[in-house]
Structure 1
Amino acid sequence: MARGRSAGYDDQRDMILDHAALLFANRGYSATSMNQVAEACGFSKALLYHYYRDKYSLLVSIAENHVSRLEDLVADVESLGLAPAARLRELIRRFVQEYAGAKHAHRVLTEDVKFLEDGDRERVLDTQRTVVSGFARAVAELRPELQEGALAKPLTMLLFGMINWMFIWMRPDGELDYDSMAPVVADLFLGGLPAVQLPQRVTALEG
Protein backbone atom coordinates (compact mmCIF):
# COMPACT_ATOMS: atom_id res chain seq x y z
CA MET A 1 0.00 0.00 0.00
CA ALA A 2 1.36 3.40 -0.97
CA ARG A 3 2.25 5.68 1.91
CA GLY A 4 -0.01 8.74 2.19
CA ARG A 5 1.27 12.28 2.25
CA SER A 6 1.97 13.93 5.57
CA ALA A 7 -0.40 16.58 6.88
CA GLY A 8 2.14 19.30 6.18
CA TYR A 9 3.04 18.17 2.66
CA ASP A 10 1.22 21.01 0.88
CA ASP A 11 2.57 23.57 3.34
CA GLN A 12 6.08 22.36 2.62
CA ARG A 13 5.49 22.62 -1.12
CA ASP A 14 4.25 26.19 -0.72
CA MET A 15 7.26 27.07 1.42
CA ILE A 16 9.59 25.67 -1.24
CA LEU A 17 7.86 27.73 -3.94
CA ASP A 18 8.25 30.89 -1.85
CA HIS A 19 11.99 30.32 -1.49
CA ALA A 20 12.38 29.36 -5.14
CA ALA A 21 10.47 32.46 -6.28
CA LEU A 22 12.76 34.66 -4.16
CA LEU A 23 15.85 33.05 -5.66
CA PHE A 24 14.54 33.15 -9.24
CA ALA A 25 13.52 36.80 -8.82
CA ASN A 26 16.88 37.86 -7.40
CA ARG A 27 19.29 35.58 -9.28
CA GLY A 28 17.32 34.67 -12.37
CA TYR A 29 15.89 31.28 -13.23
CA SER A 30 18.90 30.16 -15.28
CA ALA A 31 21.40 31.10 -12.57
CA THR A 32 19.58 29.29 -9.76
CA SER A 33 20.28 25.65 -8.98
CA MET A 34 18.28 23.05 -7.11
CA ASN A 35 21.13 22.95 -4.59
CA GLN A 36 20.55 26.63 -3.84
CA VAL A 37 16.81 26.10 -3.47
CA ALA A 38 17.41 23.17 -1.11
CA GLU A 39 19.86 25.21 0.96
CA ALA A 40 17.42 28.15 1.19
CA CYS A 41 14.73 25.75 2.43
CA GLY A 42 17.03 24.03 4.91
CA PHE A 43 16.56 20.75 3.03
CA SER A 44 18.84 18.16 1.60
CA LYS A 45 18.71 18.01 -2.18
CA ALA A 46 17.20 14.52 -1.91
CA LEU A 47 14.37 15.82 0.28
CA LEU A 48 13.70 18.67 -2.16
CA TYR A 49 13.24 16.13 -4.96
CA HIS A 50 10.57 14.47 -2.82
CA TYR A 51 8.44 17.58 -3.39
CA TYR A 52 9.51 18.76 -6.86
CA ARG A 53 11.16 16.65 -9.51
CA ASP A 54 13.32 19.43 -10.99
CA LYS A 55 13.85 23.17 -11.28
CA TYR A 56 11.50 23.43 -14.24
CA SER A 57 8.60 22.04 -12.21
CA LEU A 58 9.25 24.79 -9.66
CA LEU A 59 9.02 27.43 -12.37
CA VAL A 60 5.76 26.01 -13.75
CA SER A 61 4.21 25.82 -10.28
CA ILE A 62 5.24 29.38 -9.38
CA ALA A 63 3.80 30.81 -12.60
CA GLU A 64 0.60 28.73 -12.57
CA ASN A 65 -0.14 29.29 -8.89
CA HIS A 66 0.33 33.04 -9.22
CA VAL A 67 -1.87 33.54 -12.27
CA SER A 68 -4.50 31.18 -10.86
CA ARG A 69 -4.75 33.28 -7.69
CA LEU A 70 -5.15 36.40 -9.83
CA GLU A 71 -7.83 34.70 -11.91
CA ASP A 72 -9.67 33.72 -8.72
CA LEU A 73 -9.51 37.32 -7.48
CA VAL A 74 -11.12 38.59 -10.68
CA ALA A 75 -13.88 35.98 -10.48
CA ASP A 76 -14.52 36.73 -6.82
CA VAL A 77 -14.79 40.49 -7.40
CA GLU A 78 -17.07 40.00 -10.41
CA SER A 79 -19.35 37.79 -8.31
CA LEU A 80 -20.02 40.75 -5.99
CA GLY A 81 -22.15 42.48 -8.63
CA LEU A 82 -20.55 45.89 -8.10
CA ALA A 83 -21.00 48.84 -10.46
CA PRO A 84 -18.11 49.19 -12.95
CA ALA A 85 -16.21 51.94 -11.09
CA ALA A 86 -16.57 50.20 -7.73
CA ARG A 87 -15.59 46.89 -9.32
CA LEU A 88 -12.46 48.40 -10.83
CA ARG A 89 -11.50 49.97 -7.50
CA GLU A 90 -11.96 46.65 -5.75
CA LEU A 91 -9.92 44.84 -8.41
CA ILE A 92 -7.10 47.35 -8.01
CA ARG A 93 -7.21 47.08 -4.21
CA ARG A 94 -7.09 43.30 -4.21
CA PHE A 95 -4.37 43.09 -6.83
CA VAL A 96 -2.15 45.54 -4.99
CA GLN A 97 -2.63 43.49 -1.82
CA GLU A 98 -1.89 40.24 -3.66
CA TYR A 99 1.22 41.63 -5.35
CA ALA A 100 2.51 42.92 -2.01
CA GLY A 101 2.69 39.35 -0.75
CA ALA A 102 3.70 37.76 -4.05
CA LYS A 103 6.04 40.26 -5.68
CA HIS A 104 8.75 37.64 -6.21
CA ALA A 105 6.33 35.27 -7.90
CA HIS A 106 5.08 38.12 -10.05
CA ARG A 107 8.61 39.03 -11.09
CA VAL A 108 9.23 35.41 -12.00
CA LEU A 109 6.03 35.43 -14.05
CA THR A 110 6.98 38.57 -15.97
CA GLU A 111 10.68 37.78 -16.50
CA ASP A 112 10.96 33.99 -16.65
CA VAL A 113 7.84 32.93 -18.55
CA LYS A 114 10.09 32.76 -21.61
CA PHE A 115 11.71 29.64 -20.15
CA LEU A 116 8.44 27.72 -20.13
CA GLU A 117 7.81 25.12 -22.78
CA ASP A 118 5.22 26.06 -25.38
CA GLY A 119 2.26 24.23 -23.84
CA ASP A 120 2.98 25.45 -20.31
CA ARG A 121 3.63 29.00 -21.46
CA GLU A 122 0.41 29.16 -23.48
CA ARG A 123 -1.61 27.83 -20.54
CA VAL A 124 -0.17 30.51 -18.24
CA LEU A 125 -0.67 33.23 -20.84
CA ASP A 126 -4.28 32.14 -21.41
CA THR A 127 -4.94 32.62 -17.70
CA GLN A 128 -3.25 36.02 -17.84
CA ARG A 129 -5.52 37.00 -20.72
CA THR A 130 -8.53 36.05 -18.62
CA VAL A 131 -7.26 38.30 -15.83
CA VAL A 132 -6.71 41.22 -18.20
CA SER A 133 -10.16 40.71 -19.71
CA GLY A 134 -11.73 41.04 -16.27
CA PHE A 135 -10.25 44.52 -15.86
CA ALA A 136 -10.96 45.46 -19.48
CA ARG A 137 -14.64 44.63 -19.07
CA ALA A 138 -14.97 47.15 -16.24
CA VAL A 139 -13.13 49.78 -18.31
CA ALA A 140 -15.37 49.11 -21.31
CA GLU A 141 -18.51 49.42 -19.19
CA LEU A 142 -17.34 52.82 -17.93
CA ARG A 143 -16.48 54.04 -21.43
CA PRO A 144 -18.21 51.80 -24.02
CA GLU A 145 -16.87 53.85 -26.91
CA LEU A 146 -13.32 52.90 -25.89
CA GLN A 147 -14.13 49.27 -26.61
CA GLU A 148 -15.23 50.25 -30.10
CA GLY A 149 -11.94 52.07 -30.54
CA ALA A 150 -9.98 49.03 -29.27
CA LEU A 151 -8.72 51.05 -26.31
CA ALA A 152 -10.14 49.09 -23.37
CA LYS A 153 -7.33 46.55 -23.33
CA PRO A 154 -4.46 49.04 -23.90
CA LEU A 155 -5.81 51.19 -21.07
CA THR A 156 -5.99 48.09 -18.89
CA MET A 157 -2.35 47.33 -19.66
CA LEU A 158 -1.41 50.90 -18.71
CA LEU A 159 -3.22 50.34 -15.42
CA PHE A 160 -1.26 47.15 -14.85
CA GLY A 161 1.88 49.11 -15.59
CA MET A 162 1.12 51.41 -12.67
CA ILE A 163 0.43 48.50 -10.36
CA ASN A 164 3.46 46.46 -11.45
CA TRP A 165 5.97 49.29 -11.28
CA MET A 166 4.84 50.24 -7.79
CA PHE A 167 6.73 47.22 -6.50
CA ILE A 168 9.94 48.36 -8.17
CA TRP A 169 10.17 51.85 -6.73
CA MET A 170 8.25 51.64 -3.44
CA ARG A 171 10.36 51.09 -0.34
CA PRO A 172 8.91 48.62 2.18
CA ASP A 173 9.96 50.97 5.00
CA GLY A 174 8.72 54.13 3.27
CA GLU A 175 6.05 56.52 4.48
CA LEU A 176 3.39 54.98 2.21
CA ASP A 177 2.36 51.34 2.22
CA TYR A 178 0.58 49.33 -0.45
CA ASP A 179 -2.82 49.63 1.18
CA SER A 180 -2.60 53.42 1.10
CA MET A 181 -1.37 53.45 -2.51
CA ALA A 182 -4.15 51.26 -3.94
CA PRO A 183 -6.82 54.01 -3.80
CA VAL A 184 -4.28 56.48 -5.22
CA VAL A 185 -3.83 54.24 -8.26
CA ALA A 186 -7.61 53.93 -8.58
CA ASP A 187 -8.11 57.70 -8.29
CA LEU A 188 -5.43 58.40 -10.87
CA PHE A 189 -6.79 55.90 -13.38
CA LEU A 190 -10.49 56.62 -12.89
CA GLY A 191 -9.86 60.35 -12.75
CA GLY A 192 -8.01 60.27 -16.06
CA LEU A 193 -10.28 57.82 -17.82
CA PRO A 194 -13.00 60.40 -18.69
CA ALA A 195 -10.36 62.55 -20.40
CA VAL A 196 -9.17 59.80 -22.76
CA GLN A 197 -9.95 60.59 -26.39
CA LEU A 198 -10.28 58.11 -29.20
CA PRO A 199 -7.26 58.14 -31.55
CA GLN A 200 -7.75 60.33 -34.62
CA ARG A 201 -7.67 57.37 -36.98
CA VAL A 202 -10.65 55.84 -35.12
CA THR A 203 -12.72 59.05 -35.10
CA ALA A 204 -11.92 59.58 -38.79
CA LEU A 205 -13.20 56.10 -39.63
CA GLU A 206 -16.36 56.70 -37.62
CA GLY A 207 -16.93 59.99 -39.39
Structure 2
Amino acid sequence: MARGRAANYDDQREMILARAAELFACSGYPATSMNQVAEAAGLSKATLYHYYRDKYSLLVEITEGHVARLVAMVEAVQAQDLGAEERVRQMVVRILGEYAHAQHAHRVLTDDVRFLHPEDSERILDMQRRVTGGFADAIAEWQPGQQAAGLVKPVTMLLFGMINWMFTWLRPDGDLSYEDMAGIVADLLVGGVPAVRPPQRVSSDKSTKTASRRRSPLHAEATSTEGDNA
Protein backbone atom coordinates (compact mmCIF):
# COMPACT_ATOMS: atom_id res chain seq x y z
CA MET A 1 0.00 0.00 0.00
CA ALA A 2 1.38 3.38 -1.02
CA ARG A 3 2.35 5.67 1.79
CA GLY A 4 0.01 8.65 2.08
CA ARG A 5 1.12 12.23 2.28
CA ALA A 6 1.24 14.02 5.60
CA ALA A 7 -1.43 16.62 6.26
CA ASN A 8 1.21 19.36 6.22
CA TYR A 9 2.93 18.11 3.06
CA ASP A 10 2.25 21.25 0.99
CA ASP A 11 3.24 23.54 3.86
CA GLN A 12 6.50 21.65 4.23
CA ARG A 13 7.23 21.99 0.53
CA GLU A 14 6.68 25.74 0.68
CA MET A 15 8.90 26.04 3.75
CA ILE A 16 11.67 24.11 2.00
CA LEU A 17 11.36 26.34 -1.06
CA ALA A 18 11.62 29.45 1.10
CA ARG A 19 14.79 28.18 2.82
CA ALA A 20 16.32 27.08 -0.49
CA ALA A 21 15.50 30.42 -2.13
CA GLU A 22 17.23 32.27 0.70
CA LEU A 23 20.33 30.08 0.37
CA PHE A 24 20.43 30.38 -3.43
CA ALA A 25 19.95 34.16 -3.19
CA CYS A 26 22.71 34.63 -0.60
CA SER A 27 25.27 32.02 -1.70
CA GLY A 28 24.32 31.28 -5.31
CA TYR A 29 22.75 28.16 -6.74
CA PRO A 30 26.03 26.36 -7.64
CA ALA A 31 27.51 26.88 -4.16
CA THR A 32 24.46 25.58 -2.27
CA SER A 33 24.19 21.89 -1.42
CA MET A 34 21.19 19.75 -0.52
CA ASN A 35 22.82 19.21 2.88
CA GLN A 36 22.67 22.96 3.48
CA VAL A 37 19.03 23.11 2.36
CA ALA A 38 18.13 20.24 4.69
CA GLU A 39 19.91 21.92 7.60
CA ALA A 40 18.23 25.28 6.91
CA ALA A 41 14.83 23.58 6.75
CA GLY A 42 15.45 21.62 9.95
CA LEU A 43 15.11 18.30 8.15
CA SER A 44 17.24 15.26 7.57
CA LYS A 45 18.61 14.87 4.06
CA ALA A 46 16.50 11.74 3.61
CA THR A 47 13.35 13.66 4.55
CA LEU A 48 14.28 16.48 2.18
CA TYR A 49 14.47 13.99 -0.71
CA HIS A 50 10.95 12.88 0.15
CA TYR A 51 9.81 16.37 -0.94
CA TYR A 52 12.28 17.24 -3.71
CA ARG A 53 14.33 14.81 -5.75
CA ASP A 54 17.34 17.10 -6.22
CA LYS A 55 18.64 20.67 -6.09
CA TYR A 56 17.65 21.37 -9.66
CA SER A 57 13.99 20.64 -8.92
CA LEU A 58 14.16 23.28 -6.21
CA LEU A 59 15.50 25.82 -8.69
CA VAL A 60 12.68 25.08 -11.14
CA GLU A 61 10.00 25.31 -8.44
CA ILE A 62 11.37 28.58 -7.05
CA THR A 63 11.66 30.37 -10.40
CA GLU A 64 8.50 29.00 -11.99
CA GLY A 65 6.42 29.54 -8.85
CA HIS A 66 7.57 33.14 -8.56
CA VAL A 67 6.73 33.95 -12.19
CA ALA A 68 3.42 32.07 -11.96
CA ARG A 69 2.36 34.34 -9.11
CA LEU A 70 3.24 37.40 -11.20
CA VAL A 71 1.20 36.05 -14.12
CA ALA A 72 -1.76 35.45 -11.82
CA MET A 73 -1.53 39.01 -10.50
CA VAL A 74 -1.46 40.53 -13.99
CA GLU A 75 -4.43 38.41 -15.06
CA ALA A 76 -6.34 39.35 -11.90
CA VAL A 77 -5.88 43.06 -12.66
CA GLN A 78 -6.84 42.51 -16.31
CA ALA A 79 -10.07 40.84 -15.18
CA GLN A 80 -11.12 43.91 -13.17
CA ASP A 81 -13.30 46.62 -14.66
CA LEU A 82 -10.63 49.33 -14.62
CA GLY A 83 -9.61 52.13 -16.92
CA ALA A 84 -6.29 51.61 -18.70
CA GLU A 85 -4.39 54.13 -16.55
CA GLU A 86 -5.65 52.58 -13.32
CA ARG A 87 -4.84 49.11 -14.69
CA VAL A 88 -1.23 50.18 -15.22
CA ARG A 89 -1.08 51.62 -11.72
CA GLN A 90 -2.58 48.51 -10.13
CA MET A 91 -0.18 46.22 -11.98
CA VAL A 92 2.79 48.17 -10.63
CA VAL A 93 1.41 48.10 -7.10
CA ARG A 94 0.58 44.39 -7.21
CA ILE A 95 3.90 43.36 -8.75
CA LEU A 96 5.94 45.28 -6.18
CA GLY A 97 3.70 43.90 -3.46
CA GLU A 98 4.75 40.41 -4.54
CA TYR A 99 8.41 41.42 -4.74
CA ALA A 100 8.22 42.65 -1.14
CA HIS A 101 7.48 39.12 0.06
CA ALA A 102 9.54 37.22 -2.52
CA GLN A 103 12.85 39.05 -2.61
CA HIS A 104 14.89 35.84 -2.40
CA ALA A 105 12.88 34.12 -5.14
CA HIS A 106 13.18 37.20 -7.32
CA ARG A 107 16.94 37.29 -6.86
CA VAL A 108 17.15 33.61 -7.78
CA LEU A 109 15.14 34.33 -10.94
CA THR A 110 17.46 37.22 -11.79
CA ASP A 111 20.78 35.54 -10.99
CA ASP A 112 20.29 31.79 -11.41
CA VAL A 113 17.88 31.41 -14.33
CA ARG A 114 20.92 30.68 -16.52
CA PHE A 115 21.26 27.29 -14.84
CA LEU A 116 17.87 26.11 -16.08
CA HIS A 117 17.69 23.48 -18.80
CA PRO A 118 16.54 24.89 -22.17
CA GLU A 119 13.02 23.44 -21.99
CA ASP A 120 12.47 24.80 -18.48
CA SER A 121 14.05 28.13 -19.35
CA GLU A 122 11.81 28.55 -22.39
CA ARG A 123 8.65 27.67 -20.46
CA ILE A 124 9.44 30.21 -17.74
CA LEU A 125 10.46 32.78 -20.34
CA ASP A 126 7.06 32.40 -22.00
CA MET A 127 5.42 33.06 -18.64
CA GLN A 128 7.56 36.16 -18.15
CA ARG A 129 6.45 37.40 -21.57
CA ARG A 130 2.87 37.15 -20.38
CA VAL A 131 3.75 39.46 -17.49
CA THR A 132 5.50 42.09 -19.62
CA GLY A 133 2.85 41.65 -22.31
CA GLY A 134 0.11 42.46 -19.81
CA PHE A 135 1.86 45.71 -18.94
CA ALA A 136 2.47 46.53 -22.58
CA ASP A 137 -1.18 45.96 -23.48
CA ALA A 138 -2.34 48.25 -20.68
CA ILE A 139 0.15 50.97 -21.64
CA ALA A 140 -0.87 50.70 -25.32
CA GLU A 141 -4.55 51.11 -24.43
CA TRP A 142 -3.77 53.99 -22.07
CA GLN A 143 -1.41 55.79 -24.46
CA PRO A 144 -2.31 54.85 -28.06
CA GLY A 145 0.07 57.51 -29.34
CA GLN A 146 2.97 55.62 -27.77
CA GLN A 147 1.76 52.48 -29.50
CA ALA A 148 1.68 54.23 -32.86
CA ALA A 149 5.21 55.54 -32.29
CA GLY A 150 6.54 52.08 -31.40
CA LEU A 151 7.42 53.15 -27.86
CA VAL A 152 5.25 50.77 -25.81
CA LYS A 153 7.84 48.01 -25.64
CA PRO A 154 10.76 50.32 -24.68
CA VAL A 155 8.62 52.00 -22.02
CA THR A 156 7.58 48.61 -20.65
CA MET A 157 11.18 47.41 -20.46
CA LEU A 158 12.25 50.65 -18.79
CA LEU A 159 9.60 50.01 -16.15
CA PHE A 160 10.90 46.51 -15.48
CA GLY A 161 14.44 47.85 -15.50
CA MET A 162 13.42 50.06 -12.57
CA ILE A 163 11.60 47.48 -10.51
CA ASN A 164 13.54 44.29 -11.23
CA TRP A 165 16.76 45.59 -9.68
CA MET A 166 15.21 47.44 -6.78
CA PHE A 167 16.36 44.70 -4.41
CA THR A 168 19.99 45.73 -5.06
CA TRP A 169 19.60 49.07 -3.32
CA LEU A 170 16.32 49.14 -1.34
CA ARG A 171 17.17 48.24 2.25
CA PRO A 172 14.54 46.18 4.10
CA ASP A 173 15.21 48.22 7.25
CA GLY A 174 15.30 51.57 5.43
CA ASP A 175 12.84 54.43 5.54
CA LEU A 176 10.94 53.26 2.44
CA SER A 177 9.24 49.87 2.14
CA TYR A 178 8.33 48.04 -1.04
CA GLU A 179 4.76 49.18 -0.47
CA ASP A 180 5.96 52.80 -0.31
CA MET A 181 8.00 52.34 -3.46
CA ALA A 182 5.02 50.80 -5.28
CA GLY A 183 3.17 54.09 -5.03
CA ILE A 184 6.25 56.08 -6.03
CA VAL A 185 6.95 53.93 -9.10
CA ALA A 186 3.28 54.04 -10.11
CA ASP A 187 3.25 57.84 -9.80
CA LEU A 188 6.50 58.09 -11.75
CA LEU A 189 5.23 55.88 -14.55
CA VAL A 190 1.73 57.34 -14.78
CA GLY A 191 3.06 60.89 -14.57
CA GLY A 192 6.00 60.37 -16.90
CA VAL A 193 4.84 58.14 -19.75
CA PRO A 194 2.47 60.74 -21.27
CA ALA A 195 5.45 63.12 -21.58
CA VAL A 196 7.52 60.66 -23.63
CA ARG A 197 7.91 61.86 -27.23
CA PRO A 198 9.07 59.88 -30.27
CA PRO A 199 12.69 60.62 -31.19
CA GLN A 200 13.34 62.76 -34.23
CA ARG A 201 14.16 60.62 -37.27
CA VAL A 202 17.00 61.65 -39.59
CA SER A 203 15.77 61.88 -43.17
CA SER A 204 18.92 61.00 -45.18
CA ASP A 205 19.46 57.37 -46.12
CA LYS A 206 22.99 57.27 -44.73
CA SER A 207 22.04 58.85 -41.42
CA THR A 208 18.95 56.65 -41.14
CA LYS A 209 21.03 53.51 -41.62
CA THR A 210 23.53 54.70 -39.05
CA ALA A 211 20.78 55.50 -36.57
CA SER A 212 19.19 52.14 -37.24
CA ARG A 213 22.45 50.35 -36.52
CA ARG A 214 22.84 52.26 -33.31
CA ARG A 215 19.34 51.30 -32.20
CA SER A 216 19.66 47.65 -33.15
CA PRO A 217 21.67 46.57 -30.08
CA LEU A 218 19.15 48.27 -27.82
CA HIS A 219 16.30 46.56 -29.64
CA ALA A 220 18.07 43.22 -29.38
CA GLU A 221 18.73 43.77 -25.70
CA ALA A 222 15.09 44.65 -25.06
CA THR A 223 14.01 41.55 -26.95
CA SER A 224 16.28 39.22 -25.04
CA THR A 225 15.41 40.86 -21.72
CA GLU A 226 11.66 40.92 -22.26
CA GLY A 227 11.05 37.69 -20.47
CA ASP A 228 14.29 37.27 -18.57
CA ASN A 229 13.81 40.18 -16.20
CA ALA A 230 10.03 40.09 -15.37
TM-score, structure 2 as length reference: 0.85
Aligned to 2:218: none
Aligned to 2:9: 9
Q: Deviations over 1:46-98 (max 9, x none)?
A: 11100000000000000110010000000101111210111111111111110
How far the C-alpha of 1:165 sits from its partner, in A, is 2.6
Q: Deviations over 1:85-140 (max 9, x none)?
A: 11111111111110000011011111111111110000000000000000011111
One-letter code of the match for 2:188? L
Q: Deviations over 1:13-35 (max 9, x none)?
A: 00000011111111111111111
Shift in alpha-carbon separation, 1:161–1:202, aligned structure 2, 3 A: farther
CA distance in 2, matches of 1:38, 1:174: 31
State the identity %: 62
- 1:49-128, aligned counterparts within 5 Å? 49-128=49-128
**Are the equivalent residues in 1 in contact too, given 2:146–2:152 (CA < 8 A)?**
yes
How far the C-alpha of 1:145 sits from its partner, in A, is 2.7
**Are the equivalent residues in 1 in contact too, given 2:100–2:179 (CA < 8 A)?**
no
How many pairs were matched up?
205
Aligned to 1:186: 186
CA distance in 1, matches of 2:116, 2:53: 16
CA distance in 2, matches of 1:45, 1:202: 64
Aligned to 1:138: 138
**Are the equivalent residues in 2 in contact too, given 1:140–1:152 (CA < 8 A)?**
yes
CA distance in 2, matches of 1:202, 1:76: 43
SS of the residue corresponding to residue 150 of structure 1 reads coil
Match status 1:148 vs 2:141: no
CA distance in 2, matches of 1:17, 1:202: 53
TM-score, structure 1 as length reference: 0.94
- Answer with 190-199 or 15-24: which moved more: 190-199
Runs of 4+ in 1 over 3 A off after TM superposition: 201-205
- Answer with 128-137 or 192-201: which moved more: 192-201
How far the C-alpha of 1:195 sits from its partner, in A, is 1.2
CA distance in 2, matches of 1:201, 1:183: 35
- Answer with 122-131 or 160-169: which moved more: 160-169
Shift in alpha-carbon separation, 1:70–1:49, aligned structure 2, 3 A: same
CA distance in 1, matches of 2:178, 2:11: 26
Aligned to 2:199: 199
**Are the equivalent residues in 1 in contact too, given 2:92–2:182 (CA < 8 A)?**
yes
How far the C-alpha of 1:157 sits from its partner, in A, is 1.3
**Are the equivalent residues in 2 in contact too, given 1:97–1:179 (CA < 8 A)?**
yes
CA distance in 2, matches of 1:202, 1:17: 53
SS of the residue corresponding to residue 165 of structure 2 reads helix
Gaps of 5+ in 1: none
Aligned to 1:22: 22
- Answer with 167-176 or 49-58: which moved more: 167-176
Gaps of 5+ in 2: 209-230
CA distance in 1, matches of 2:141, 2:199: 19
